Structure 1
Amino acid sequence: MHLAGTGLVALFVIALGFIYWRDRNALKARRFKLFEACLALFDHHRLTQDAVNFPVLTGSYGGFDVRIEPLADHVVFRKIPSLWLLVTVKHALPMDGTFDLLARAQNVEFYSPSDSLQVRIATPDAWPRHTTLKADRPAAELPMNVLDPHVRTLFADPRSKELVVTRRGVRIVYQAHSGNRSEYLVMRSAAFREAHVPAALLRSLLDQAVAVCVDLAGGGAHARG
């Protein structure tokens, strides 16, 4: 009887291990398809996936080197988790400072450089009231007039979270998905089931980031402030 019981326990452990392995592989495969509809946008691309995380997409878009990193955010207790897209266009820009415009700041945006920037700048009257502007230098040394139309367009969308501009390029942070409320409150699980990124959405975000780069680069010395 003892041997039979031990055998049943072993079989049970093996079955649990198989279920875990099956579900983990299914989750990994499902998440790998996040950008499935978007790949034709790129001149060339590469997808890299760490364990069961969402894949990071790098490649060339319209001649610009880009990186799109999904980031699952469930830091704030009782807040519905978000799946952010960190859309970065790499391009040398004629500006010396760092500009960070963050929407609905809650001091838990671990992906944002905002906390490390020491200069708080009053947002222009025409910009959304729910944004916080920080930099590493005064507003007079930043290309505020060049950025103005881009800020108004980008943050007219309530899912836009952040615009970061440095001498190395531009990053837009955008809420691609929010988690299932009931599942998260009960299970504390941020699964983002069936999450995918539409090609039209990613094209729009990339085009906006590229447009910022092009305008700043075209501004030359004027873009320095």
Structure 2
Amino acid sequence: MQSAGIVLAVLFAVALVLMHRRDRHALRTERGKLFDACLALFEGHRVTQDAVAWPVLAGTYGGYEVHIAPLVDDVVFRKVPSLWLLVTVKRKLPIAGRVDMLARAQNTEFYSPADGLPVRIATPHEWPRQMTIKADRPAAELPFAALDPHVRAFFADPRAKEMLVTREGVRIVYQAHGADRSEYLVLRRAVFRDARLPAALVGSLLDQAVQVCAAVMKGGVHGQA
């Protein structure tokens, strides 16, 4: 009887291991489909995925080197988690420093460099009121004139979260998906069902970031036309 119990225990343990592996494989496969619908946008691309993490894309778009990374934000308790999309266009820009524009700041944006920037800049009257602007130098040394139409257009979308402009390029942050509300409220699990990135959305975000780069390039060192 004792040996039979041991055999059952071993079989149960093996079954649990197999189920765990199956679930991890299914999760990795499901998350790995995130970029499938938009790969044709790129002249070249490389998608990497560690274990069951969300995949990351590096590629070339319109001649620009780009990087797209999803990021799960489940820091705020009782708030349904978001799947943010960090879209970066890499380009050497003639900007004196770095400036970060963050919408609806809650002091929980761990992905944002805003807290490390020492200068708080007043939000221009025409820009969204719920915006925090931080930089590493005074406003007079930054290309706000060149950025103005692009900032207003991007943040007109309620899912737009952040725009960061530096000497190395432009990064924008956008809410791609919200977690399943019922599952999060009951089980506290951030589940994003059928998370896919439409080509139209990814193309629009990349175009906006490229246009910001072009505006800063045209504006010169201080962003003046």
Same fold (TM over 0.5): yes
| Alignment-mate amino acid for residue 124 of structure 1 | P
Offset, 1:123: 0.3
Match of 2:146 in 1: 146
CA contact (8 A) 1:98 1:167 kept: yes
CA contact (8 A) 1:95 1:224 kept: no
Offset, 1:181: 1.1
CA distance in 2, matches of 1:213, 1:131: 21
| Alignment-mate amino acid for residue 52 of structure 1 | V
Match of 1:125 in 2: 125
CA distance in 1, matches of 2:109, 2:196: 23
Match of 2:47 in 1: 47
| Alignment-mate amino acid for residue 45 of structure 2 | H
CA distance in 1, matches of 2:221, 2:107: 34
Which segments of 5 or more consecutive residues in structure 2 lack a partner in the other structure? none
Give the paired residue count: 225
Between stretches 183-192 and 97-106, larger displacement belongs to: 183-192
Match of 1:172 in 2: 172
CA distance in 2, matches of 1:137, 1:2: 74
Offset, 1:109: 0.4
Match of 1:104 in 2: 104
CA distance in 1, matches of 2:218, 2:111: 29
CA distance in 1, matches of 2:221, 2:195: 42
Deviations 1:66-118 (A, max 9, x none): 00000011011111000000000000000121110001100010000000001
CA contact (8 A) 1:142 1:224 kept: no
Match of 2:62 in 1: 62
Match of 1:25 in 2: 25
Taking the TM superposition and a 5 Å limit, the aligned residue runs for 1:76-91 are: 76-91=76-91
Name the % identity. 65
* SS state at 1:221 partner: coil
Deviations 1:50-81 (A, max 9, x none): 11011000000000000000001101111100
TM norm structure 2: 0.98
* SS state at 1:157 partner: coil
Offset, 1:215: 1.0
| Alignment-mate amino acid for residue 78 of structure 1 | R
TM norm structure 1: 0.98
- In the alignment, structure 1 residue 159 sits paired with structure 2 residue 190: no
* SS state at 1:215 partner: helix
Offset, 1:8: 0.6
Structure 1: which 4+ aligned runs deviate by more than 6 Å?
Answer: none
CA distance in 2, matches of 1:130, 1:221: 28
| Alignment-mate amino acid for residue 123 of structure 1 | T
| Alignment-mate amino acid for residue 192 of structure 1 | F
CA contact (8 A) 1:34 1:197 kept: yes
Match of 2:14 in 1: 14
CA contact (8 A) 2:164 2:172 kept: yes
Which segments of 5 or more consecutive residues in structure 1 lack a partner in the other structure? none
- In the alignment, structure 1 residue 35 sits paired with structure 2 residue 41: no
